[in-house]
Amino acid sequence: MKKQFSWIRDALKEAERIDKYDPGESAESLANRLGFKSEDILRLNANENFFVPLSLLKALLREVLEEVDPRTYPQDERPVLSDALGRFLKIPAEQIIIGAGGDQLIELVSHAFLKRGDEVLSIKPTFSIYGRATEAAGATYRTVSLKENFSLDIENLLSSVSDRCKMVFLCSPNNPTGNQFSLADLKGILQEFGGLVIVDEAYVDFASYSLADFTEKSENLVLLRTFSKAFGLAGLRIGYAIASPEVATVLNERFQMPYPASLLAIKLCLKLLDRIRIVEEGIEEVKNERRRLLKRLNIVEGVRAFDSEANFVLAGLERSSDEVYNDLLSRGIVVRNIGSILNTKNCLRITVAPRPMTNRFLNAFEEVLSNEPC
């Protein structure tokens, strides 16, 4: 008798409620489509960090390749990285959970603490993966709009908490708005909300403060951090979370996979932590170039660029963002076309990049906006 697999079809149908994530077209594909060389495509759409010297990263990778045996699993390397991060952050190593980038850690926390029927609360606009991970865990994802100045609407957020709400996701500095939420607001949520507060600090190295010092004694606080931004290792997919010792122990021992990050990535992170001054110098360069980008954008007629504490800048245009995006694309420049955010229409998000890259973007951007729309 033929087996019946209708439940598989039902499961696939159920999965359709989970939003797809579109990482955008690759530089190689764009180059082929637009008639450019791939190295001539300027990628300012993914908040990647081009300030860490590529020559340094390649040299360190060569060192790592000589030191590791790729046939073996990571053993002591992950605890060693936790120890190094603990010294760097001045927190106990047992509070750290190593993972395969921020996205995997979002999924890890969702899988560990959510069940079908639960609710998760977040803000809009923000990073879309929070909703995706929530829905994949079988829970319901709900959002509360930010205020028009992009600050948290604390009263509305807390009044939206139901008995089924187990978790709040907050990205601070927030993607795509770029602003860091006030410490008083975040502390208020931690005190008033009875569930887990997950604060994504992917961009915190470019910002004013971190909540890392609050994690040891705040049982309901989990921070998400990454090596993709300040350390320039987006392609190696490695990050970490910070939580109370009790929460971190459970996540590490009961929910995290045995080998969540590659041996290559772990060893390279250790080498960069030994050269932290180079990373810190890159962070200062990001901040300096961010100030210059904001200033230049805000003197262009029909543009309003918002203050940022991340490695990107959000700008609202009077012109159609679709038209400007496509005009830039025809010049081999890729930014993120966000569209409308609250009452601000025609938004583009631009990665802060080293000066030659930024100058190429600014020259093209000003030329595009000086032309009459078709």
Taking only the tens place, the pLDDT of each residue in 308-341 is 999 999 999 999 999 999 999 999 999 999 999 9
pTM recorded for the entire structure: 0.95
pLDDT at 1 over 50: no
Distance CA 131, CA 121 (A): 9
Distance CA 171, CA 169 (A): 7
Closest CA to 261 of 78, 108, 6, 113: 78
Q: Which domains does the chain have, with CATH numbers?
A: 24-47+277-370 (3.90.1150.10), 54-274 (3.40.640.10)
pLDDT confidence band for 124 (50 / 70 / 90): very high
Helix (H, G, I), strand (E, B) or coil at 338: strand
pLDDT at 2 over 70: no
Six-digit token string for 122: 């977040």
Distance CA 190, CA 271 (A): 35
How far is C-alpha 310 from the geometric centre of its chain's CA atoms?
A: 10
pLDDT of residue 163: 96
pLDDT at 374 over 70: no
Taking only the tens place, the pLDDT of each residue in 172-215 is 999 999 999 999 999 999 999 999 999 999 999 999 999 999 99
pLDDT confidence band for 14 (50 / 70 / 90): confident
Taking only the tens place, the pLDDT of each residue in 69-120 is 999 999 899 999 999 999 999 999 999 999 999 999 999 999 999 999 999 9
Phi/psi at 259 (5° precision): -130, 70
Distance CA 111, CA 282 (A): 35
Quickly list H helices, 143-262.
154-159, 183-192, 245-250
pLDDT confidence band for 122 (50 / 70 / 90): very high
